[in-house]
């Protein structure tokens, strides 16, 4: 069975590119385009819009690269407190470095990096030095005086004018960052202020993906955005300014709606003219809704995402990363859409695998873990932990055996290999357990492929796991999580720990 497609990338690329160029043409000098969401690896969009290329926006940038400069903003406070980008498990400053490298791999260079709300924070200074010594131009912008209420102070030499002007060359300036609150909008408006002071009429707009303005407020795709941002308390609403101006229902989110009156006044103060936008929806360039080619497919996918987010927040609560109210918010969103944990097909089989492990006594040190994967043809495969393998490791081996048509009785890893790795981990490196995590099993499988034709066949089937759904009854160890992410698997887990130890490697 081939996974159903709900989104057409080519149609979206054509629509979004045309909309951006149309917006650029409205302004005499430059368009500063605040880029919301992820430029690369937009896996949330790929999950809720099946068929969406996680890197489709980069393909769009390649089309526009002769017309566009890119500025990368990062908030100094995020660097200082080592804020984590959850989908990659890396800090925002590391993500910024990764984005510069990733863009370079696509043949696109960053014009400059802007450290926003800079106040000589030690970690931010180190980050600045690191970039400059690698030849990257770095600007620092301080907190905007008077923001958000004193428009006269904001739009003055003491406000936006206090920020150093960032030199750009091309008519489109894309302003991006590793996450919300990076200072993208302030950077755009600061540039706009300087341009008008120099007699150049520039413009401002926002590149948006979610929420999708021309889908209903309670469409699952839009609700999935609410679930994804429950930790920052975003919520969707009908844009009241758009409804009043045009008599048309459009969906936006609370922060954009709340700030619009202030933003409109700021733009009018900068330009000396009536704002060209009548609503925050007007301000956005968002054609994602026109890329949807099968509404029933994206509805189903978005409902699945609600359950994934619930499990993720529950695990983050167990690990101390979020408060209980975030879990309750995610659960409320899920229940409002009439779905629950059981809506995710791999949840119950994973729990059954853990129960079977308990009955058989196959767990390790009194811990009985189960895991389940749904293959692309709908087949469910289970795995359980043992003294030799983590549940996730067992699951991956069972899954590739199923895909390759290899009988369960044929081993993919030699006993000597497993014993040697276990000896290294426990007796030499001092680990508390010798059982192999997913990363270690993947390495062992590749080593065995040279001597074992079955292992070689199974190794080739790993790529068929990309996009598959997996649930585990316990929070994965770092090695399990890293290995499953590299395989491109959509992972959830119950909020249980796989060990009684407080420090797990």
Q: What is the 3-state secondary structure (H, E, C) of 281-328?
A: HHHEECCHHHHECCHHHHHHHHHHHHHHHHHHHHHHHHCCCCCHHHHH
Pick from 92, 164, 155: nearest CA to 121: 92
CA separation, residue 305 to residues 330, 429, 493 (Å): 11, 39, 14
Least confident of 229-243, 292-306, 359-373, 425-439: 359-373
Higher confidence at residue 360 or residue 404?
Answer: 404
User: CA-CA distance, 410 to 426, in Å (whole number)?
Assistant: 27
- What pLDDT score was predicted for residue 83? 83
Pick from 43, 41, 20: nearest CA to 31: 20
Q: What is the mean pLDDT of residues 280-306?
A: 97
Task: Reduce the DSSP state of residue 425 to 3 states and report it.
Answer: helix
Q: Is residue 431 scored above 80 in pLDDT?
A: no
The pLDDT tens digits of the residues spanning 55-72 come to: 999 999 888 989 999 999
pTM of the entire structure? 0.88
- What pLDDT score was predicted for residue 1? 45
Task: Reduce the DSSP state of residue 85 to 3 states and report it.
Answer: strand
pLDDT band at 363 (very low <50, low <70, confident <90, very high): low
- What pLDDT score was predicted for residue 2? 54
- What pLDDT score was predicted for residue 87? 65
pLDDT band at 365 (very low <50, low <70, confident <90, very high): low
**Taken in order 144, 20, 208, 84, is the CA torsion positive or negative?**
negative
User: CA-CA distance, 399 to 397, in Å (whole number)?
Assistant: 5
Q: Is residue 148 scored above 50 in pLDDT?
A: yes
CA separation, residue 498 to residues 371, 386, 477 (Å): 12, 12, 8
- What pLDDT score was predicted for residue 428? 86
pLDDT band at 374 (very low <50, low <70, confident <90, very high): very high
Residue 439 token pair: 């990363």
CA dihedral 233, 237, 242, 246 (to 10 degrees): 170
Residue 252 token pair: 């936006």
Judge contact between 472 and 489, C-beta under 8 A. no
Q: Is residue 240 scored above 90 in pLDDT?
A: yes
State percent of the chain over pLDDT 90. Answer: 78
Q: What is the mean pLDDT of residues 223-232?
A: 93
pLDDT band at 318 (very low <50, low <70, confident <90, very high): very high
Q: What is the mean pLDDT of residues 311-337?
A: 95
Q: What is the mean pLDDT of the chain?
A: 92
The conformational region for residue 181 under phi > 0 = left, psi -120 to 50 = alpha, else beta, is left
State percent of the chain over pLDDT 70. Answer: 96
Q: How many CA atoms lie within 13 A of 345 on its CB side?
A: 12
pLDDT band at 504 (very low <50, low <70, confident <90, very high): low
Q: Is residue 505 scored above 60 in pLDDT?
A: no
For tokens 């960032």, what's the residue?
166
**What does DSSP assign to residue 137?**
-
The pLDDT tens digits of the residues spanning 241-260 come to: 999 999 999 999 999 999 99
Domains of the chain plus CATH, in order, are 9-209 (3.10.630.10), 212-280+293-343 (1.20.1570.10), 345-493 (3.40.140.40)
- What pLDDT score was predicted for residue 326? 95
Q: What is the mean pLDDT of residues 198-209?
A: 95
- What pLDDT score was predicted for residue 90? 83
The pLDDT tens digits of the residues spanning 86-129 come to: 667 788 999 999 999 999 998 898 999 999 999 999 999 999 99
């Amino acid at each position: 069975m081939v996974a159903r497609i709900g989104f057409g990338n080519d149609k979206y690329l054509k629509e979004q590119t045309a909309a951006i160029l149309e917006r650029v043409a409205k302004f005499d000098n430059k368009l500063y385009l605040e880029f919301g969401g992820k430029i690369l690896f937009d896996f949330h969009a790929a999950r809720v819009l099946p068929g969406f290329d996680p890197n489709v926006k980069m393909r769009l940038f390649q089309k526009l690269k002769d017309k566009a400069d890119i500025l990368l903003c990062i908030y100094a406070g995020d660097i200082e407190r080592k804020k984590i980008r959850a989908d990659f498990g890396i800090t925002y400053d590391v993500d910024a470095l990764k984005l510069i490298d990733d863009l370079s791999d696509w043949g696109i260079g960053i014009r400059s990096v802007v450290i926003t709300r800079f106040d000589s924070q030690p970690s931010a200074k180190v980050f600045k030095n690191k970039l400059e010594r690698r030849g990257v131009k770095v600007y620092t912008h301080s907190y905007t005086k008077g923001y958000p209420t004193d428009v006269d102070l904001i739009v003055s030499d003491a406000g936006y004018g206090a920020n150093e002007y960032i030199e750009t060359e091309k008519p489109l300036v894309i302003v991006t960052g590793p996450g919300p609150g990076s200072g993208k909008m302030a950077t755009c408006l600061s540039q706009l202020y300087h341009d008008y002071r120099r007699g150049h009429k520039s413009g401002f707009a926002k590149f948006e993906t979610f929420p999708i303005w021309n889908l209903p407020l309670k469409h699952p795709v839009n609700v999935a955005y609410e679930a994804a941002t429950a930790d920052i308390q975003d919520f969707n609403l009908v844009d009241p300014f758009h409804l009043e101006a045009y008599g048309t229902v459009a969906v936006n989110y609370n922060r954009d709606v709340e700030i619009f009156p202030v933003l409109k006044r700021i733009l009018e103060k900068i330009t000396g003219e009536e704002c060209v936008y009548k609503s925050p929806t007007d301000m956005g360039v968002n054609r994602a809704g026109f890329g949807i080619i099968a509404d029933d497919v994206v509805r189903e996918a978005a409902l699945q995402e609600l359950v994934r987010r619930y499990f993720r927040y529950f695990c983050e609560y167990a690990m101390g990363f979020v408060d209980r109210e975030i879990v309750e918010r995610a659960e409320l969103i899920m229940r409002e859409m009439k779905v629950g944990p059981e809506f995710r097909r791999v949840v119950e089989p994973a729990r059954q695998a853990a129960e079977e492990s308990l009955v058989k006594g196959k767990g390790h040190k009194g811990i009985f873990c189960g895991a389940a994967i749904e293959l692309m043809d709908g087949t469910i495969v289970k795995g359980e932990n043992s003294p030799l393998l983590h549940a996730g490791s067992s699951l991956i081996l069972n899954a590739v055996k199923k895909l390759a048509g290899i009988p369960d009785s044929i081993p993919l890893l030699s006993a000597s290999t497993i014993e040697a790795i276990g000896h290294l981990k426990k007796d030499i490196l001092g680990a508390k357990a010798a059982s192999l995590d997913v990363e270690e099993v993947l390495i062992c499988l590749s080593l065995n492929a040279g001597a074992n034709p079955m292992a070689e066949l199974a190794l080739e089937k790993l790529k068929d796991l990309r996009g598959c759904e997996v649930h585990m009854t316990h929070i994965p160890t770092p090695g399990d999580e890293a290995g499953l992410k590299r395989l491109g698997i959509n992972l959830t887990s119950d909020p249980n720990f796989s060990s009684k130890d407080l420090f797990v490697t």
